[in-house]
Amino acid sequence: MRWIMHVDMDAFFASVEQMDHPEYQGKPLIVCGLSSRGVVSTCSYEARKYGVHSAMSTVKAQQLCPQGIFIPGRHQRYEEVSSEIMAIFHEFSPCVEPLSIDEAFLDLSGMEKLVGNVESLGAKVKARIKKDVGLTASVGLAPNKFLAKLASDLDKPDGCVIIHQKEAAAFIAPLPVGKIFGVGARTQEGLKRLGITTIGQLATADSAYLQPVLGNNTEELRQLALGLDTRPVINDWEQKSIGKENTFMVDLHTEEERHKALWDLCQQVGWRVRLGKKVGHTVTLKVKYNDFKSITRSITTEVPISLDEDIFAFIRQLAGAVKWSRPVRLLGVSLSKIAPEGEILLDLDDNTKKKKRIDAIDALKKKFGENIIHRG
Ligand SMILES: [Mg+2]
């Protein structure tokens, strides 16, 4: 029996702030960019009552909720809480696929033998996060990814919804088609013109009838509408690449800003690579400019690497060949062609020294959290 759990933290950034600052509890709290072009990243449930939501401009949110508390995000803190949550997920399943900083799929298939009743795990994961981290999460438990993600969203906040395969199609039939991930406003409009507004109507409609609106996605979406989805949960540690990217609140203009941002990213990637006891061969730099055009540049090394300095050395080399003619909106660093650490011996003198130093740093990070040390 296949069982997939989707766990999604409730109003994550705002909840972390309310936990860290008790004076914010019970108040409309909006975590957002404070500049004139800022947007809301998350807001507390108290703020949602005023119509404030994620991705809305901060200016609009201020109009809707003038008494709200508007604060900038503390992303390092959210990363820190996120790694605590992800570590809990790994205790419940060896196969965890993070979707973002505050949500993940857990494959619980075949765990009946270990835990008896898989359905009971939803409440257990939630209780564990509440007790150890202090936050509430919403859980969806279902036979596939699509249903699990849909379920976790149905009873937010602090929800736990279980969907069984035999009842799945009937369960989702009355829901609006927009609940299907990937069916955005435009597709909803198109379907509405065909007289289709619910998932059930989509499931029973003729393929040829849907084709003009759904195109190549017709069959895939019809499968989802029937509650069927075969996509596997892809374990974080088996990923073919390990990367981090950062979209900046304010575009970067100078070499110094880019240098600092890239070094931060290299440290985050290096840490994740070493935590998984891996090394990688290909270093990739991603740049998105303020006009949303993006480029990627890669380099493959002969000797596999995992140390922050080594990743950074290649990133600097790649960055040196990029034309920095426009302001930068996003930077990303990733390491791919990943292999287990043990396969290769790094016995160069220089590397042994570097390795010793980084081992000491990693030991501190493991003990006190990733953000204990940031090297300048
Ligand atoms: Mg969330």
**pLDDT above 60 (res 376):** no
Domains 12-74 and 169-225 share a fold: no
Q: What's the 198 CA to ligand 1 centre distance in angstroms?
A: 24
Give Rg (Cα) of the chain: 23
* First-last CA distance in the chain: 50
Q: Would you state the pLDDT for residue 343?
A: 41
Q: What's the 15 CA to ligand 1 centre distance in angstroms?
A: 10
Q: Would you state the pLDDT for residue 91?
A: 87
For the stretch 64-94, pLDDT in tens is 999 999 999 898 898 889 889 998 998 899 8
| d(C-alpha 286, C-alpha 266), whole Å | 12
| d(C-alpha 343, C-alpha 336), whole Å | 16
Amino acid in position 66: P
For the stretch 96-154, pLDDT in tens is 988 778 999 999 998 877 777 888 999 999 999 999 999 999 999 999 999 999 999 99
Task: Check if CATH label 3.30.413.10 holds for domain 239-372.
Answer: no
Where along the chain do its domains lie? Answer: 12-74, 169-225, 239-372
For the stretch 150-186, pLDDT in tens is 999 999 999 999 999 999 999 999 999 999 877 888 8
**pLDDT above 60 (res 344):** no
**pLDDT above 90 (res 9):** yes
* Confidence band, pLDDT 50/70/90 cuts, at residue 200: very high
What fold does the segment set 169-225 form as a domain? Answer: DNA polymerase; domain 1 (1.10.150)
Within 10 angstroms of residue 190's Cβ, the number of other Cβ atoms is 16
**pLDDT above 60 (res 350):** no
Q: What's the 310 CA to ligand 1 centre distance in angstroms?
A: 34
Q: Would you state the pLDDT for residue 359?
A: 75
pLDDT above 90 as % of the chain:
60
Q: Is 339 helix (H, G, I), strand (E, B) or coil?
A: strand
Q: Would you state the pLDDT for residue 281?
A: 85
Q: Would you state the pLDDT for residue 352?
A: 58
CATH of the domain spanning 12-74: 3.40.1170.60
Would residue 256 show up in a list of annotated catalytic residues for this protein? no
Q: Would you state the pLDDT for residue 346?
A: 40
**pLDDT above 80 (res 353):** no
Q: Which pTM does this prediction carry?
A: 0.65
Catalytic member of 97, 103, 189, 309: 103
What single string gives the DSSP state of each residue in 271-304?
A: HHHHHTTEEEEEEEEEEEETTS-EEEEEEEEEEE
Q: What's the 103 CA to ligand 1 centre distance in angstroms?
A: 6
pLDDT above 70 as % of the chain:
92
Q: What's the 141 CA to ligand 1 centre distance in angstroms?
A: 16
- Tokens 């108290």 locate to 46
**pLDDT above 90 (res 249):** no
Q: What's the 13 CA to ligand 1 centre distance in angstroms?
A: 9
**pLDDT above 90 (res 365):** no
Those residues with Cβ within 8 angstroms of residue 338's Cβ, 6 or more apart along the chain or in another chain:
239, 240, 241, 242, 273, 278, 279, 280
Q: Which residues of 106-121 are buried (b: 16+ CB within 10 A; e: fewer)?
A: bbbbebeeeeeebeeb
Tokens of 60: 């609009």
Those residues with Cβ within 8 angstroms of residue 358's Cβ, 6 or more apart along the chain or in another chain:
270, 274, 307, 308
Nearest of 116, 98, 135 to residue 6 by alpha carbon: 98
Q: What's the 192 CA to ligand 1 centre distance in angstroms?
A: 29
